[in-house]
Structure 1
């Protein structure tokens, strides 16, 4: 198990945040959204090429895959890992006003690696099942270490995610939540605080998860526990199918 830190919420009152729709520009401070550029309005212009004897369109560099384990200091060699997470729908609750909410009790981060979640077997037409992406910025603390440099992306590619976010705790006053469809994957930036995957709706989602790891618990994953009744996400404000799916797990 990765080490956990339990710190009182910086804000004395409990917080309720709405979940918005996932899109690349809104999610950019935290990572990248992977989706078909041809079928999504507002997608940054990306480079494409014809492939497979003209029967396929190849979109280049739809997300980054890199790591910063050289900054970990332990000297343990890292490697690329590909795992599968089969995530069950989460239990939700209905508050006194009839709002369906998910209570956030834990955030985690992977300090030195990007992490990509790719859902399998779930299309955008499956409105009864979706997943909730919860992310938070890192609070600044004095740091004498020079910030890592990031090579600007080439023209026609996605915006680079930048390097690790520092060693501070999550900023619970600026936490954000997004509802993702089955035809969207997400890449968390290095050191981005996020909730463990939250599936909403009727059935489990199988995710292929791609990242780097070196086998050192504190290098690979760090956790931050949140007291009960401090933070919750409204999930009943999404699309009709998403709301119905969420209520199925009350």
Structure 2
């Protein structure tokens, strides 16, 4: 792991994550209103789900094995045709590694966020990201992404990679 650029996670916050998509969370920053005769608070329109031309939104559950820190980031992926949203179901923190949409990223393009167990993310179409990085225990995520024709996953190897140290 020598020679790898160190990657330090920062808290997942709406403004810092905005270049990559949306943070999905029940916060005062989101539009919200009381519904169901006062029994429910609706946090409204939290993510721009984009299924892309000819696609449809699908809902899945991903069960992710935990990763141990330090963790070496060696690859990234993107979905050029549509967005992809992840909402944790297990209430555990996890890591989010992203890079801007566009050409294949270099390690200096990466940003690492520590998401709380009550925060989801929606990656905008074409945003580079690392596959799920659960921490601590096996964790389930509700995933909303694209079903339909076309190749919607590109992967690249990072040389050199980066090292998430915690």
Do Structure 1 and Structure 2 share a fold, with TM-score over 0.5?
A: yes
Name the structure 1 match of 2:153. 221
Name the structure 2 match of 1:175. 110
Name the structure 1 match of 2:99. 136
Question: Contact conserved, 1:134 with 1:177, CA < 8 A, in 2?
Answer: yes
1:142-165 deviation digits (Å, cap 9, x = unpaired) = xxxxxxxxxxxxxxxxxxxxxxx4
Counterpart-to-counterpart distance in 1, 2:161 and 2:145:
30
Residue 208 of structure 1 pairs with residue 142 of structure 2: yes
Counterpart-to-counterpart distance in 2, 1:199 and 1:34:
17
1:130-181 deviation digits (Å, cap 9, x = unpaired) = 21000012xxxxxxxxxxxxxxxxxxxxxxxxxxx44x21243221101111
Counterpart-to-counterpart distance in 1, 2:26 and 2:107:
32
Question: Contact conserved, 2:52 with 2:146, CA < 8 A, in 1?
Answer: no
Name the structure 2 match of 1:62. 46
Which of 177, 196, 221 is residue 131 of structure 2 equivalent to? 196
Counterpart-to-counterpart distance in 2, 1:212 and 1:51:
30
Counterpart-to-counterpart distance in 1, 2:61 and 2:148:
18
Name the structure 1 match of 2:56. 79
Question: Contact conserved, 2:90 with 2:141, CA < 8 A, in 1?
Answer: no
Between structures 1 and 2, the one with greater helix share = 1
Q: Could you say which structure has the larger radius of gyration?
A: 1
Question: Contact conserved, 1:213 with 1:220, CA < 8 A, in 2?
Answer: no
- The alpha-carbon deviation at position 200 of structure 1 amounts to 1.3
Counterpart-to-counterpart distance in 2, 1:180 and 1:191:
21
Instruction: Give structure 2 stretches of 5+ with no counterpart.
Output: none
How many residue pairs align between the two structures? 164
Counting only pairs closer than 5 Å after superposition, residues 85-124 of structure 1 correspond to structure 2 as 85-92=62-69, 101-122=70-91
**TM-score where L is the length of structure 2:** 0.90
- The alpha-carbon deviation at position 215 of structure 1 amounts to 4.2
Counterpart-to-counterpart distance in 2, 1:130 and 1:47:
24
Counterpart-to-counterpart distance in 2, 1:61 and 1:209:
16
**TM-score where L is the length of structure 1:** 0.61
Counterpart-to-counterpart distance in 2, 1:209 and 1:91:
23
- The alpha-carbon deviation at position 221 of structure 1 amounts to 0.6
Which of 41, 48, 53 is residue 37 of structure 2 equivalent to? 53
* C-alpha RMSD of matched pairs (Å): 1.7
